[in-house]
Amino acid sequence: MITLPSLGDEVSLWMDASPAEVWDLVSDVTRIGEFSPETFEARWTRGSTGPEVGAYFKGHVKRNGVGPTYWSGCRVTRCEPERVFEFSVGTDSVTVNNWGYRLEPQDGGTLVTEYFRLDPNLPTRLYWLVLGPLRRRTNQRGMRTTLERMKAVVEV
């Protein structure tokens, strides 16, 4: 039996800040450019103005921090204030992957977990089988960088 690699990963970092303080950062997509090494700006679209399930935004991405540069359409799929913020990346009919943040109160602060999971369709599984190890490492580094940058902001 062949075991396929997991189609996602996650990175966690404890922050000396309340879930409310962290929530303000992770759910405000217009601030992602301050934190992400790949997505350097984002804005709400289609009449959306803030985080809620079904809200749309697009992110301006510089793949691997060097290019190519493109806009990705996103839609909020989970929005539980101070707990979970998740969004899909793709089009209205095709989800390529999902990104999110889980917030857990811990030791007077917040354990913040950033995660991604790819849609388990056949093309994605084939892509992940071939290029998954490289992309996983890139995503792990990017998530760690994003969380460390957020930590520096909320712990000031």
Looking at residue 133, what is its pLDDT? 85
Looking at residue 47, what is its pLDDT? 98
Strand order in the sheet with 95-106: 8-15, 109-118, 95-106, 84-90, 69-80, 56-62, 39-45
- Extract the tokens encoding 7: 């189609």
Query: pTM for the full model?
Result: 0.92
Looking at residue 55, what is its pLDDT? 98
Looking at residue 23, what is its pLDDT? 98
Domain ranges for the chain, please list them. Answer: 8-154
Q: Which residues of the chain have pLDDT under 70?
A: 1-5
Looking at residue 6, what is its pLDDT? 80
Q: Which overall architecture, per CATH, does domain 8-154 show?
A: 2-Layer Sandwich (3.30)
